Structure 1
C-alpha cells in the first residue's frame, strides 16, 4: 500500500471487520496483565483528524513496554473489531515512525486554537489590572512560576481540554466568560473572581505527568493521594504566608479552590459560600461542557447523534443540520 493511501485511512470511516494499516498517535497507553499472565496494551489512538479509537495489543514483550509509550507516533497494522458496542483496533504489528515514512508527529497532536503568547498576555494583563495588592501578588507569583509549563500542559488526562496547551486555554476561556458575567452582577469582586479562575486548576500541573506534546502518562503520587485541589490549597497557603497576605483574602481564595467542584463526590468538601465562588463553579462547568460538546459534535455528521458521553452525564448529543 502506498504511503499516501495509508494516511487516508481515517478512524471516522473504519468499520467492523476492516483491516487497518496507517499512522496513529498513542494518546494514552496502559500496560495490563491478562488472566493468563501475559501483558497487553490498552490504548487510546488518534489519527491526523484527532478522531480516536480504543486499541489493544496482546502478548506484549518487555522491550515493547519501553518503546510504545504515551506521545509516540506509530505505524500500525491491525483489524477493527467491536467490543461493548464500540469499535476497537486490535494491533497485530506496530513500530515507531522513521524519516522514510514522511509523516510529522505535529500533524497528529491536537493543539489549542489560540496563540499561546496571546493567551499568556491576556491573563497577565488581567492580573496587572487587579486593584487588590494581595490578590495581585498571590496570583502573579503562582501563575508566573508556571508559564513555561502552561504552554503545553493539558487540563485533563482524558476529558475536557485534554490537548496540548489545554489548561491555559481553559483558563483563558473562563476568564473571557467571567469578564462578561461580572459586568452583569455589581456585587461581584472582579479581582477575587478572576484570581479564582486563574488559580482554580493550576494544581493539576502537580497532579499529572505530561510530556511536551500534552500527553499525560500517569498521575503523580501526590495527584493520586491528594488531588489538585488539596495541592493548590497548600501552595496558596505557602505563597500567601511568604507574601504576608491579608488572612481573609487568603481564606477566600482557598475556599474558591476548595469548593469549585461543588459536590463532595467530585472532590469538594464544601459548597461555594459567597458569590465569586458560586460563579467560579458555573463558569468552570460552562467552559468544560461546551468544549466537550464541541469536540463530540465535530465527530458526527449533521442531523445525527453522538455516542453517549460519560463527561456529559451519559447523554447523546444531536448535531443540527441547519446553519
Structure 2
C-alpha cells in the first residue's frame, strides 16, 4: 500500500479491498448515484469488487476521521489495450481536491493508455478530464420509453420461435452468439464464461426474462433479448433492455425489432413495469434510429475519456 496527502484527505493505493472496504465503496456509490441521478460506476466494476481474482487496483480517499470520501477503480485486465478507470467522490466532500488527487494517483499508478468513464456526463468530470489531457472518445446514451404507450406486436421471421434461457445448457451457445453479435464492441463481445456466470447468480436474474430466438428446424440460436429489472429502496422500479443481439447472418429480417418488442411486453405484462431504459453507443446510428422509432428518447449520456 502507498499513500499521498491531499488537503485533509489521504489517498491510498490498495491491491485488494476487504469486506468492510467493499461495503464502504458500495455505500459511497449509492450516495453519489442518488445525488447525481446516475450511478457513478458501471455494473462490471461493481461485480468485480467482490471477485478476489479480478485484476484491479484501488485508490481510496479518506478524511482524518476515516470517512471514505472518494474511490477510484483501475481495471488492469488488459493493460495493453488500456487501463479502465472509474472514479467517484462523496457529494459532501467535493470541491476540496479529492477528485483531482485520485486522478493524479491514477496517472501515477497506471501504465499504458487510460480509459475513464464519466457517468451522467457530469460537468466537473468533464473539466477534470480536460485539465489532465484526456480527450472525449466515446458517448453512451441512456434512452428511456414509457411502457404504458401501445407496443407493436412482435412479428418473428418465419421458422423462428422464442423461448426462455435454460441455465445449465444454453451458456456455451449464448456466449458464441454474443461474441459474434458484438464482435466489434469493446466490452460486450469479450464476455467470458465467468462474466456470464456471475450475472446468472445475481439476485435480479430471471431466466424467464432472458428471451432466445431459435431456428425451429435446427435449434440454433439466432438472437436474444436479456431483460433486467432495477429495484432499489426509495426508487421507482424500472426495466432495462440489458443486452439485445442478433446473429449477423440473420440481420435484415426484422428479428431485432421483434425481440425488442417481445422483451418490452414481458417487462410490462409479466413484471408490471411502466417504464424501460437501455444503453446504446452514440456512434451506432442504426440502433439509435431503431430505438427512437420504437418510442425511446434520450435521457442521459455517459462519456468515455481516453489518454495515451
TM range (shorter): under 0.3
TM-score, normalization by structure 2: 0.23
Of structures 1 and 2, the one scoring higher in RCO (CA 8 A, sep 6+) is: 2
TM-score, normalization by structure 1: 0.22
Select the structure that is richer in helix.
Answer: 1
Select the structure that is richer in strand.
Answer: 2
- Structure whose alpha-carbon radius of gyration is higher: 1
